[in-house]
A and B are shown apart, each in its own frame.
Chain A
């Protein structure tokens, strides 16, 4: 275990050093992030014209969802995107062989190798919006609701990571999976809005098939103190299943991996 922490520390300090060279990039990312946030809040506000509500969510509580989405998007940009999109390149260039030879778990290595610090402001801003909007909508932020919030964020992140990793791992067969991750991103955008605002059939899909609900709506309910225990419990089971399946799938994919040269 200690070795894994040490590896992460080494990876990320290298990443930090190399990214210091691209300060302009950081600035652009920051601008794009602020623009995106501004735009989404604006579009969200259109739903509330004329004193309307969105799927029984008030304006302030819907903002909590925006915050959770921003937070997860930041994590995606910081950790998932830089690492998991690289898997395709490892497969294509045959460098995956070197990764497999390392005396460390290959899924771990591939998942944490890089860290994009441009995602950090989004993570911080997302959390700030969550807390601000939660207080605005009358949440008392009890230690219990904070604890459930953290657990449900973890559940959401594990599901997100597993789905993304599954798609990336399928590049062992299809090589180019870039477009598949685009489809995923497009579907995840649905998480900007409360699941109860969708038609019944899509609520079903977004809860059970591609569990977008677990990514944003449920964590938001958690911090508002409204998350039901059975949902939290099923989230724990669902995310574990997703994670176990991603490991199983990776092992399975590696059995079929015939490097670039053989």
Chain B
């Protein structure tokens, strides 16, 4: 069986080696999980100032939304640009390009392995959150959980493709991590990390929904927290973005590699 042109054996090797790498950095990953506290800070603000009611969420709803946003972010964080920039500047990229394996797959594997390593920390943080806010405790139903899981994976895929697009620019400019900031800014404000998007004024919401960002946090978090959400259109948008981004990344990447060999040779 082959997935994306990779044999099962290759996939297994990639994932197990990357997982072994990641286990070495458990403390770092724990810290990184902690650095996702932003949704909790925002939760304390929104609930304290009783604003939630104005966009139709009581304190329990807010608590569930922000915990979900935290969890979705934990499993959709992408840092391809940074790994790729380091690999390309240090010259490690050249041997990767020679292998009969697209370098991006290596990064996919390391992200998935990192998510697996992060799972226990995320669960620990969620449990702590429930101990501090016992009234907000809930268990999503199995179908809910499955849909949330699926949409989080799609969110990860979109984020990964977006960053790969920026990473490919590394072939032209050495500083693509600076460019990464340019997609991080709309991500921060339009993804729903700081506030559920239902709080947005309707005209701004309409514009936001045309970008890929709401589907990175807001959509999966709404499913997970059990808020009413248009599941069909949400998934449709996610799949649409993925199908736009895959060819774009492919083309830019091919152009970039051509340029790269031209420069090195």
A23–B44 Cα distance when bound, in Å, is: 40
Chain B positions 184-205 with a Cβ under 8 Å from a chain A Cβ: 184-186, 188-189, 194-195, 199-200, 204
Count of chain A residues with Cβ under 8 Å from any Cβ of B?
36
Annotate A189-208 by CB proximity to B: 1 below 8 A, 0 otherwise: 11001000111001000000
Per the bound structure, the CA–CA distance linking A193 and B34 in Å amounts to 20
Q: Does the CB pair B38–A189 fall under 8 Å? A: yes
Give 1 or 0 for each of A42-77: 1 = CB within 8 Å of chain B CB. 110011011010110000000000000000000000
> Across the interface, do B34 and A39 meet the contact criterion of CB distance under 8 Å?
no
Q: Kindly report which residue of chain B lies nearest to residue A182, judged by CB atoms.
A: B35
Measured in the bound complex, the distance between the Cα atoms of B129 and A39 in whole Å is 27
Which residues of A21-41 are within 8 A (CB) of B? 22, 24-25, 28-29, 31-32, 35-36, 39-40
CB-contacts of B140-186 with A (<8 A): 173, 175, 178-179, 181-182, 184-186
Number of A-B contacts (CB under 8 A): 89
How long is the Cα–Cα vector from A226 to B184 in the complex, in angstroms? 36
* Interchain CA distance A179-B34 in the complex, whole Å: 9
Q: Give the CA-CA distance A28 to B179 in the complex, in Å.
A: 7
Q: Are B182's CB and A32's CB within 8 A?
A: yes
Residue pair B45, A183 in contact (C-beta under 8 Å): no
Q: Closest A-chain residue to B53, C-beta based?
A: A50
- Tell me whether B233 is interfacial, beta carbon within 8 Å: no
A237 at the interface (CB under 8 A from B): no
Q: Report whether B181 and A28 are in contact in the complex, using a CB–CB cutoff of 8 Å.
A: yes
Seen from chain A, the residues whose Cβ lies within 8 Å of a Cβ on chain B are 22, 24-25, 28-29, 31-32, 35-36, 39-40, 42-43, 46-47, 49-50, 52, 54-55, 176, 178-180, 182-183, 185-187, 189-190, 193, 197-199, 202
Binding site for A on B (CB under 8 A): 25, 28-29, 31-32, 34-38, 41, 44-45, 47-51, 54, 173, 175, 178-179, 181-182, 184-186, 188-189, 194-195, 199-200, 204
